[in-house]
Structure 1
Amino acid sequence: MKKILSGLLFISGLALLFSCSDGIDYEKIRREELANLKLYIDKVHPGAEPTASGLYYFNEEGTGHGDTIKLGDQVQIYYATWALYDGTDSVLVDQTNGYLLGHRYEPYKFIPGAGTSIAGLEEAITYMQPGTRSHLVINSELAYGQNGSTSGGIGMFQTILMEVEVYKVIPRETE
């Protein structure tokens, strides 16, 4: 048993060594992201508290009606996404789907809980109702993580800001 455990520890150590051999200080980049996130929240939403997962969501008053969206419902949303850079600056990235453009495009469709969208968006949707408009602050753990998004201009360990409007909800069929 000792040989097995020491072998596993040796292999784990090698894996750690090779995973860090690319010269990138991932821990430093993640700390910078969290510092920028705190700076942004303190400036734009002072006193705001995140959910247990670390998501910040701010639903606009007077929007939304009906039942809260549930996991398994199909939702259609309009959205725009920004990458947060230094805690005060953000840049609109190539992930706008109609929201800021007067709903000229087809809404983005997905099923919360199916794992087909980023975790932060899937969680936030469960705090919304049809017609809700919301501002989301999604840290990298709930967005694109260490790898970023190759198709959307989001870098590694990048907090994203989203403006979301729930256009339509199709409740899951109950048996």
Structure 2
Amino acid sequence: MKYMKRRGLNFLLLVVVLGVGFVSCSKTSRQKARELEVELRDKYVAKYYPDAQPTPSGLYVIKEQDAPAGADSITVGDQVKVFYTGNLIESTDSTGVQDGYVFDSSGDYEPFTFTVGAGSVISGWEEAIQQMKEGEKAVWIIPSTLGYSGTPQSGVPAYSTLVFHVTVYKVIKSNSDPVIIERQF
């Protein structure tokens, strides 16, 4: 009898261990969402920007219009005014991969204004804007790791690559250089 109880407990333990093993082998919905994000982003880049190379963080900045000669680089502390449209990537049987749902836009009349490095925009924007100059147009392809990650935002599902079409309208350089006042005696 004692042997039968022990054998029964061993069998139960084996079932529990195997059950945990099978559960841990199956992918979670988060893992599937991350894999779908990478798949869609790779297809999108291959279709529209096959020569584009990401930064080490995974960001793509594809320049579509260069800055005028003499335009300054954008640095932390500068205030920038940009026009933009933010899209999600979508893929359908009829059209394939393309810019999808517009989840955000500055509109056509009033640019969006922010200070670089102030933490008021996602990290993908902070990185991308510092690769731009006044007057440039670019497409920014921002992986979720530099956007909203696993946190859904209004109109943006978790683990979504964000595609921004951006025009840098104006750069107001910061006055970060200390002012030296000489006294005359």
- Say yes or no: TM over 0.5: yes
Please identify runs of 4+ aligned residues in structure 1 that moved more than 2 A: 61-65
Shift, 1:59, TM fit = 1.2
Percent same amino acid at aligned positions? 34
Aligned to 2:85: 80
User: Residues 172 and 139 of structure 1: is their aligned pair in 2 closer, same or farther, counting only changes over 3 Å?
Assistant: same
1:68-147 correspondence runs (5 A): 68-86=73-91, 88-98=97-107, 103-104=108-109, 106-147=110-151
Checking the alignment, whether the CA contact within 8 Å between 2:65 and 2:138 is kept in structure 1 is no
User: Residues 53 and 93 of structure 1: is their aligned pair in 2 closer, same or farther, counting only changes over 3 Å?
Assistant: same
Which entry has the higher C-alpha Rg, 1 or 2?
A: 2
Aligned to 2:51: 47
What stretches of structure 1 of length at least 5 have no aligned partner? 1-22
Which whole-Å deviations, capped at 9, do the CAs of 1:65-110 have from their partners, x for residues lacking one? 4111001111111100101123713323241112xxxx32x21111
Shift, 1:49, TM fit = 1.1
Which whole-Å deviations, capped at 9, do the CAs of 1:98-130 have from their partners, x for residues lacking one? 2xxxx32x2111112221101111111101111
Shift, 1:64, TM fit = 4.4
TM score, norm. by length of structure 2: 0.73
Aligned length, in residue pairs: 147
More strand by share: 2
Shift, 1:24, TM fit = 5.6
1:58-77 correspondence runs (5 A): 58-65=62-69, 66-77=71-82
User: Residues 90 and 144 of structure 1: is their aligned pair in 2 closer, same or farther, counting only changes over 3 Å?
Assistant: same
What stretches of structure 2 of length at least 5 have no aligned partner? 1-26, 179-185
**CA RMSD across the alignment:** 2.0
User: Residues 157 and 62 of structure 1: is their aligned pair in 2 closer, same or farther, counting only changes over 3 Å?
Assistant: same
Checking the alignment, whether the CA contact within 8 Å between 2:139 and 2:163 is kept in structure 1 is yes
Checking the alignment, whether the CA contact within 8 Å between 1:118 and 1:142 is kept in structure 2 is yes
Could you tell me how far apart the structure 2 residues matched to 1:50 and 1:94 are?
A: 23
Which whole-Å deviations, capped at 9, do the CAs of 1:25-44 have from their partners, x for residues lacking one? 21111011011111111111
Aligned to 1:171: 173
Matched AA of 2:173:
P
Checking the alignment, whether the CA contact within 8 Å between 1:136 and 1:162 is kept in structure 2 is yes
From 156, 159, 171, the counterpart of 2:158 = 156
